[in-house]
Chains A and B, each alone.
Chain A
Amino acid sequence: MSNLLETHQPPTRHPSVLRSYPAYLDALMEGDHFTCNQVLQSLLKEEVPLIDLYRGLFERSLVHVGRMWESNEISVAAEHMATAMTESLMAQVYPVLFKTERCGRRAIVSCTVNEYHQVGGKMVADLFEAHGWDSYFLGANTPLPDLLAMVEEKTPHVLCFSLALYSNTPTLLKSLQRAREVFPDLPILVGGQAFSWGGTEILDRVSNTHFLANLNVLEDWIQQW
């Protein structure tokens, strides 16, 4: 497995995003969609790069929400509300995101069976789109046969798996091994919060599989393709 693991890196240094983040986070925790959208719209107007929006606003706030849930500071309902709001806000970026000229490359992005946290995977799919790739996002809890059928149909240049919960690692490994059997030459990328504290060595068991620590690393990978 090729390891493109990055050492610790702040999510973004974009000054407008850094300045806007506290208000955005407060509004997100309050369930105040209007204020969150206002923050986002002002950043879109400034033409803040997508990667900074995704990492500095969406990802950073959701990681914060996730940690609050893990430490029982908020309920699962609050966590779901924040996630649903974030997905809705990400949709505000779509009119800009999908206008990029196509480069003829394709990516499939999926979550494994029983993995319901799909926002990270969606960000990966969106980042491919922002670079002109056609990305097919299969969503949460994708049955493996359906995933393999989609790969057969779309013939992507890369297959990506997103994993949020480490407990789903055995399922991920099975999916990787099966995908490798059926598509021996297809590069596979893996990422997600499940690997925040390590555990990437399981990916050594599958050839041509690359771990990408965050969206910045993914962007580098795309640009090097």
Chain B
Amino acid sequence: MVDDSHPFDPWLINFLWYSAAVVLMEIDEDGVVTRANRFSRSLLDENPMGKPLKSLIVDFEHKLDIRHLPADGKAIHQLSFGTGQKLPQTCFMRFLRQGNKTLVIGEVHAEQIEQMRHLLVDTNNRLSNLTRDLHKKNADLERLNEIKNQFLGMAAHDLRNPLGAIMLYSDYMLEHDNDTLADQHAEFLNDIRSLSQFMLELINDLLDISAIEAGHLKLDLEPDDLVPLLKNAVSLHQPLAGKKEMDLKLHLPAETLPVQIDANKIRQVLNNLLSNAIKFSPHGAKIEVQATLTEDEIQVAVVDQGPGVKPEEMLQLFKPFIRLSAQATGNEKSTGLGLAICNKILTAHKGRIWAENNPDGGARFFIALPILEL
């Protein structure tokens, strides 16, 4: 409401237009800005003349109707102005209609600016503190992982020697004293032998995985041919497959499959996949090893007729110490580390390993290695 008893002092008018830290604008009947004081222009970081006032205000819900806001100079509206590159600035606005023009008067509360500043600084501080904590926790985890690997390595080394002795003595007795041993004692010795063998495999796997996780996996990469490796792996597993009357076959797309590999490590992978296929397939099953060539990869699939992999176990397949629900069909034991080791070896070769279920039963375990360009 304008107090007519005090006409506007020209000095005051000048002050309001050029110096005062208040928003002062004039809009016409269409809501378009016709005048704006210096503070408004500085706040908005542009000259608002000729622009609809609505376009200068941040209004995500598009509910603002300037022309119908109360313009008696009393009602206060909290509106946020877009300020170019800076954050929107909230002002407490009043509208005062004067004929066919409306005065738009706004205050920026210093307290609010200070609160926003504190909020921003606080948020920035929290973010940087979280970063610090994250790095700290990462360092703690790395230390724990290192301790774990050292422990695994030490434990495995200390266990391997006694096991070697156990296997040696049981082998000796079975070989040299077989005629004098009671049947039951021979059976016991056989059990001792096979359990010791399993423990040795477990220890070797533990040593492998701790070496790999400690970053000690060193590959001896050489140009090689996958064909003889595949033939050799299949041939090695024929006796095992034969015991369960399984049909183990190899299918090759070419006479040579050139790769750059650490042959011992890839041999380890192939042995693991083949022994798994034999372990989990039923008596008399068909197992196929199929090599295929793509544009840049050699893929080898070991196809079995086992129970397949449950969908919920697919993601866990290549993680260490995971025991899956599938049961070995000949009571063979599993360390739970083989596929995890295979995964690490393939990754180190810049290759891949994955599994898929066959539509008509069983699973396919794939490995892929980059082709060596000759």
Contact = CB atoms under 8 A, between A and B. Distances in A.
Contact of A98 (B121, B128, B135): B135
A96 to B, nearest CB: 10
B122 A141 contact: yes
A80 B123 CA distance: 12
Interface string B119-159: 01110111011011001101110110000000000000000
A98 B118 contact: no
Contacts of B142: 99
B139 A99 contact: yes
B180 to A, nearest CB: 58
Given A80-B121, A116-B118, A139 B135 contact: no
A94 B135 contact: yes
A98 B136 contact: yes
A80 B118 CA distance: 11
A94 B132 contact: yes
B125 A118 contact: yes
A84 B124 contact: yes
A209 to B, nearest CB: 25
Contacts of A99: 139, 142
B128 A87 contact: yes
Contacts of A122: 128-129, 132
Contacts of A88: 128
A116 B121 contact: yes
B112 to A, nearest CB: 16
A139 B139 contact: no
Interface string B88-131: 00000000000000000000000000000110111011101101
Interface string A47-91: 000000000000000000000000000001000100010011011
A141 B129 CA distance: 13
Interface string A93-132: 0110111001000000000000010100010010001000
Nearest to A84: B124
Nearest to A76: B117
A68 to B, nearest CB: 18
B130 to A, nearest CB: 10
A140 interface: yes
A140 B131 contact: no
B57 to A, nearest CB: 23
A195 interface: no
B136 A129 contact: yes
Nearest to B136: A98
A118 B125 CA distance: 8
A97 B136 CA distance: 9
A68 B142 CA distance: 42
Contacts of A87: 124, 128
A137 interface: yes
Contacts of B136: 94, 98, 129
A95 B135 contact: yes
A140 B122 CA distance: 7
A133 to B, nearest CB: 12
A48 B120 CA distance: 33
A87 B122 CA distance: 13
Interface of B: 117-118, 120-122, 124-126, 128-129, 131-132, 135-136, 138-140, 142-143
Given A99-B142, A118-B129, 20 more contacts: A84-B128, A87-B128, A88-B128, A90-B128, A91-B131, A91-B132, A91-B135, A94-B132, A95-B139, A97-B135, A98-B135, A98-B140, A125-B132, A129-B136, A137-B129, A139-B125, A139-B126, A140-B122, A140-B125, A141-B122
Q: Which 3 A-B pairs have the closest CB atoms?
A: A98-B139, A94-B135, A87-B128
17 contacts: A76-B117, A80-B121, A80-B124, A87-B124, A90-B128, A94-B131, A94-B132, A94-B139, A95-B135, A95-B139, A98-B135, A98-B136, A98-B139, A99-B139, A116-B125, A129-B136, A139-B125
